[in-house]
Amino acid sequence: AQSVTQLDSHVSVSEGTPVLLRCNYSSSYSPSLFWYVQHPNKGLQLLLKYTSAATLVKGINGFEAEFKKSETSFHLTKPSAHMSDAAEYFCVVSDLVTGGFKTIFGAGTRLFVKA
């Protein structure tokens, strides 16, 4: 069965320090993996996605994620946090099922950035 686990509900970093948001998944086939960000009162915005091409995926705003099949992980990183990065981040798996595909969200990780 498909599932997504975001290992931290909250992460707090200082501005200028690295960000690591962790995501593990399980899937039946070859999944597509996404990271979305949600700022207050805004819709979920795509940061990046993995769709079976390069395992290191670069996204917007300096974020990147590495697909590691052996570890079933898709952790999101950024070398240097900015105050504007404070938001909720969702790891999402889209997996093939009979007749179509299924989209499953992680529980979300709230990122706090301290000045």
Q: State how far the Cα of 110 lies from the Cα of 37, in Å rounded to an integer.
A: 10
Asked whether position 46 contacts another protein by CB under 8 A, the answer is yes
**61 is a contact residue toward another protein (CB under 8 A):** no
Site membership for another protein, residue 102 (CB under 8 A): yes
Q: Are 29 and 14 in contact (CB under 8 A)?
A: no
- In the complex, least distance from residue 15 CB atom to another protein, rounded to whole angstroms: 26
List 53's β-bridge partners, or say none: none
What is the sign of the dihedral through the CA atoms of 63, 68, 74 and 79?
negative
User: Would you count residue 26 as binding another protein (CB under 8 A)?
Assistant: no
The residues binding another protein (CB under 8 A) are 31-32, 34, 36, 41-46, 49, 51-52, 90, 94-96, 99-108
